[in-house]
Structure 1
């Protein structure tokens, strides 16, 4: 019960700060105070507005809000979200483009279960939609999953990916971002041996810890500095009575958020200080750069305890993927069995979470794959976020990934897109979107 009490205490602290922010905003905005203008009241209202917004976002799942895009015939294409497969711990979500008749590259984006919702990849989805038929793994917040649903660890995650790929069929191209990269590799190897007909056509691994020991970071150092017993004692709590998952053991999102912020505490402090200043002077607005980033960054979800612990133990500590000794239900998953699925790795030279060297290790593990089916790219100057959602992704990495998909794609209509040319190139406008 002390774990449950700790969970509720964190929620109480969050709720109290949200209330303080709302109270400060309401008090400083009291109409009678307008008779006696005081700059301190403007700063108090600004602090309250930023504080209330900050702490309220921590318990809200962001909306996808995928905007329409203009097809090659000049018409807006509306994007609708639909659930293809519904499971206890996550859904297979499809972004259906209304009015699209020409088949596109079928892409499965494997989102991380690392404290943030799949909406963290919203900009990645938006950038791919004009060229691809996009699906994504939409993981659920563990606090909302009843204990009766059972456990969910790295093996269950891998089997979810296997089921999703079987549902999508063999003409699928997988893009795994960050934490799920080793498990996406394992799922592909599992299918190579158990169900070859369901294998994807290509697998792109972006900034994932395939071999964490290849290039140590603060994340890997922390994993090796604590024992599993210490980790369970310090990080795992029981969901409180407020949520449907009451009693479930989780790694709380608020605890993970604290870890995220502490890694760059000064940067975040300055960002919020500057935002309060902008609100006080009237220069801020609802959709400014600060709100756009932090509305997503602060929205955190709880992870099942068994998933978090098994990730640290089996991926980081014992390196089961790196040593090709990963097992699912007692059966070894041999990555060397991948012989037909093209594999590409993408890394950022300034990635401080999955440093260069960790992800490219996947290519050495694919011993049964010919060299012409392997590719790698290191983006100079790019950090972890930039390799899948920033300027580096949009301008450099995305075109390379699309080229890699085209090299291993049979269903893309002729003339839809030529290697190396942007989607809005006149030469590529002859096929209706």
Structure 2
């Protein structure tokens, strides 16, 4: 399947469905249809509206849409997104709150590169902004990166994190969400050996597969069953002619989305059926609960083939992080080298992607870290999404994480560098 034709075929199918939705919306919206005493045309228009929006949002990067934050003075302060470090495959950005004294807590959110944009953490960012200076890794869509930019795999990802942490300075607290948890742990260990003065103050790992074999899920079962040859043959494609990354080997976001949807197909089908009926009745809103969720959920990005394949092979199959055998740029990373960075793990009791046990395995690897600098939390009733963006995060996990950050803040080590690069 490593051909442009298969990539362009998927894009053509998406574009056709978007066009069909737009056509049905236009057909069902003609004023003359009001003369027909039958809900058929309302249903057609509603189906078209939902279908067009569904397929159009798959290729649009969502906006952060964080305009203001309320300060301690009770006033709204303007928030701007500023790029501190620009790199071919991802940037380090800051949510700059204007007119507010700088907060003592400096938090780097490490966003996952697993088929969605970093904006998946929008609500996480919004919840932290009132109390923290917030930075985040903003990964780029591989389809928009020219082949001339080179490769990007798990080692490159880890080195990007290392560079970002060096730029921010050592008074930073890292929160890694889901997929990057093992690589954030590796980056911290890398710094512990190569540049100890650039280590973060604390590291919070949320729902990440440190040891995928610690608890089985559909994701880990898939990783065991499939061979690397099968993955390379059946899911890797070349970016088509429409995008700047034409010819680049990628794992397409549309394929990732299809796998996401298939895991809970009945729930998604019911959600879209209910939304069509609401739209037909005039009860659906442009920013209602359904649209807020799916505007983000359906916005997918391509991953470089080497990143996807190396993640499956090295993190899931070979368990290099879990066995403390991960190598970065020719250097073996020893997780036991972490001796003074406080580490906390957070898991959801009902997480069906990174089940409880996978993330907390990090603490057993930290043999050089005192027990008083280790912490863990399992949130009852919380699924994967809820532990970083849902009610469980807002009401229970966020306060615990902020307390953990405060408990390990210490005295400032040095003034961070914040110039643009």
Instruction: Please tell me the TM-score bracket, short chain as reference.
Output: over 0.9
Cα distance in 2 between the residues matched to 1:2 and 1:393: 40
Residue aligning to 1:423: none
Residue 229 of structure 2 is matched in structure 1 by 229
Equivalent residue, structure 2, for 1:279: 279
Aligned counterparts of 2:104 and 2:34: Cα–Cα separation in 1: 58
For 1:171 and 1:373, how far apart are their aligned partners in 2?
16
Say whether residues 1:337 and 2:337 are aligned partners: yes
- 1:424 aligns to what? none
Contact 1:105 1:411 in 2 (8 A): no
Native 8 Å contact 1:103 1:411 kept in 2: no
Q: Does the Cα contact within 8 Å between 1:104 and 1:411 map onto a contact in 2?
A: no
Q: What's 1:55 paired with?
A: 55
Task: Give the superposed CA RMSD.
Answer: 1.0
Cross-structure match for 1:135: 135
Which residue of 2 is the match for residue 431 of structure 1?
none
Classify the secondary structure of the residue corresponding to 1:135: strand
Query: In the alignment, what sits opposite 2:220?
Result: 220
Give the structure 2 partner of residue 430 of structure 1. Answer: none
Question: TM-score scaled by structure 1?
Answer: 0.94
Q: Is the 8 A contact 1:128 1:134 kept in 2?
A: yes
- Partner Cα distance (2:266, 2:103) in 1: 47
CA deviation after TM superposition for structure 1 residue 30, in Å: 1.5
Does the Cα contact within 8 Å between 1:153 and 1:304 map onto a contact in 2? yes
- Is the aligned partner of 1:324 residue 2:324? yes
Give the Cα separation in 2 of the matches to 1:320 and 1:33.
62
**Where does residue 401 of structure 2 map in the other structure?**
401
2:101 corresponds in structure 1 to 101
Q: Counterpart of 2:125?
A: 125
Displacement of 1:66 after TM fit? 0.6
* Equivalent position of 2:250 in the other structure: 250
CA distance in 2, matches of 1:224, 1:288: 39
Structure 1 position 411, deviation (Å): 5.8
1:335, CA displacement in angstroms? 0.1
Deviations 1:220-267 (A, max 9, x none): 000110110001111100000000000000000000000000000000
Secondary structure at the aligned position of 2:99 is classed as coil
Are the equivalent residues in 1 in contact too, given 2:25–2:47 (CA < 8 A)? yes
Report if the CA contact (8 A) 2:84-2:93 is conserved.
yes
SS in 2 for 1:58: helix
1:316-364: CA deviation from partner (whole Å, max 9, x where unpaired): 0000000000001221000000001000000000000000000000000
SS state at 1:387 partner: helix
Verify the 8 A CA contact 1:186 1:333 in the aligned structure 2.
Answer: yes
Aligned twin of 2:354: 354
Instruction: Give the C-alpha shift of residue 32 in structure 1.
Output: 2.6
Please give the TM-score of this superposition, normalised by the length of structure 2. Answer: 0.97
Shift of 1:2: 5.8
Measured against aligned partners, the alpha-carbon deviations of 1:117-155 in whole angstroms (never above 9, x if no partner) come to 000000000000011000000000000000000000000
Measure the CA separation in 2 of the matches of 1:77 and 1:411.
Answer: 28
The secondary structure found in structure 1 opposite 2:176 is strand
The ranges of structure 1 where at least 4 consecutive aligned residues each deviate by more than 4 angstroms after the TM superposition are: none
Deviation string for 1:407-431 (max 9, x for gaps)?
Answer: 011369xxxxxxxxxxxxxxxxxxx
Residue 415 of structure 2 corresponds to none
**1:270-289 CA distances to partner (integer Å, 9 max, x unpaired)?**
00000000000011110100
For residues 400 and 117 of structure 1, what CA distance do their matches in structure 2 show? 26
In structure 2, the residue corresponding to 1:205 is in which secondary structure?
Answer: strand
Distance in structure 2 (CA, Å) of the matches to 1:103 and 1:374 = 25
Residue matched to 1:5: 5
- Quote the Cα distance in structure 2 between the aligned partners of 1:266 and 1:36: 33
Distance 1:411 1:127, change over 3 A: farther
The answer for the alignment partner of 2:378 in structure 1 is: 378
CA–CA separation in structure 2 for the residues paired with 1:194 and 1:42: 64
The question of whether the paired residues in 2 share the 8 Å contact of 1:208 and 1:354 is answered with yes
Structure 2 unaligned residues grouped into runs of 5+: 413-421
Segments of structure 1 that go 5 or more residues without pairing to the other structure are: 413-433
- 1:359-388 deviation digits (Å, cap 9, x = unpaired): 000000000000000000000000000000
The separation in 2 between residues aligned to 1:101 and 1:139, in whole angstroms, is: 29
| 3-state SS of 1:383 partner | coil
2: CA distance between counterparts of 1:151 and 1:22?
38
